Structure 1
Amino acid sequence: MFSWIKVQHQGVDVCINNAGLALPEPLLSGKTSGWKTIMDVNVIALSVCAREAYQSMKERKVDDGPIININSICGHRVVNNADAHFYTASKYAVTALTEGLRQELREAKTHIRATCISPGLVETECAYRLFSENPEIAVATYKSVKCLQAADIANAVVYVLSAPPHVQSGDIEITPVEQSM
């Protein structure tokens, strides 16, 4: 992907890592293959993209490009739902990776910034995948509060992108007003 970007667009100026996967794989009964899939998408792919974006920016002397990791409120709080515990662990990893990335970028004396945007309940296919064996739970979850919309997350991304180069937006948590978590 990054080779194609280099050929087509000369490189990366901005990286927005927005992949996420939740599977119903509890800690006591989940499948190792499911856990590996979650980690590959939520942690490894995000880390690879951040590394490659940084290398592309560095190569082209882009010194203020943002790397934005779209995380989850689950990266900061553990919900009482066994099906979500491994997903939550992967999102805690994203929180830690973003802070580690900030520290490494600072040590590299670059102005490339790393930000973590952590939405609460957004109406997507995520809950349907997580509760695939019982889809009425997903329906009830999305009806329980006025959910965030994709535009709400996009507005947070625009905020980060529009911040002056000397401003580091750290962790931005966005939740529906009615969501208790």
Structure 2
Amino acid sequence: MFAWIKVQHQGIDVCINNAGLALPEPILSGKTSGWRTMIDVNVIGLSVCTREAYMSMKERDVDDGHIININSMSGHRVVPSANVHFYSATKYAVTALTEGLRQELREAKSHIRATSISPGIVETEFAYRLLRNNPEKAAASYASIKCLKADDIASAVVYVLSAPPHVQIGDIQMRPVEQTS
């Protein structure tokens, strides 16, 4: 993928890590394969893309790039639902990785910025995938409150990217007004 980007677009100036998934795999009874899948997508995939984006920027002397991790409110709190506890652990990792990235960029004397955007409930296919055996429950979770929309997250990305070059926005936590946790 990164080789193709280099050929087609010369490289990366902005990386938005938006892949993420939750599987209903509790800590006490979950399948190791499900845990590995979540780690591979939510932590390893994000880290590989971050590294490759940074290398692309460095190779081309881009010192004003931006790496944005689409995280989750689950990276800041743990809800009382066993099915998402392991997922929360992966999102806490994203919180730590974003701050670690920011520190490494400062140490490298880079002006590339690192931001985490942590939304609450966003009306996507996410709940349907998490609750794949119970689509009615997934639909009800979205119908119960006025959820965030993909456009709301896109607006947060635009906001972060439009900040002056000397402004580091570390984390945006956003959730629907009606969301309780």
TM superposition score normalised by structure 2: 0.98
1:52 is displaced (CA, Å) by 0.5
- Please provide the CA RMSD for this pair: 0.6
For 2:152 and 2:138, the matched residues in 1 are separated by 20
1:134 match: 134
| Corresponding residue SS for 1:16 | strand
Q: Deviations for 1:54-103, whole angstroms, at most 9, x for unmatched residues?
A: 01001100001010000000000101111111111100000000000000
1:132 is displaced (CA, Å) by 1.2
2:169 match: 169
1:56 match: 56
Partner amino acid for 1:62? Answer: V
1:144 is displaced (CA, Å) by 1.3
Q: Percent identity?
A: 78
1:136 is displaced (CA, Å) by 1.8
For 1:127 and 1:79, the matched residues in 2 are separated by 15
| Corresponding residue SS for 1:123 | coil
Partner amino acid for 1:28? Answer: L
1:116 match: 116
1:18 is displaced (CA, Å) by 0.3
| Corresponding residue SS for 2:157 | helix
Q: Deviations for 1:3-45, whole angstroms, at most 9, x for unmatched residues?
A: 1111111110100000011111111111000000001000000
2:96 match: 96
1:135 is displaced (CA, Å) by 1.9
Alignment length, in residue pairs? 181
1:83 to 2:55 alignment: no
Partner amino acid for 2:53? Answer: A
1:178 match: 178
2:23 match: 23
1:108 is displaced (CA, Å) by 0.3
Q: Which runs of 5+ in 1 are unaligned?
A: none
Q: Which runs of 5+ in 2 are unaligned?
A: none
1:173 is displaced (CA, Å) by 0.5
1:106 is displaced (CA, Å) by 0.5
2:68 match: 68
User: 4+ residue runs of structure 1 moved beyond 3 angstroms?
Assistant: none
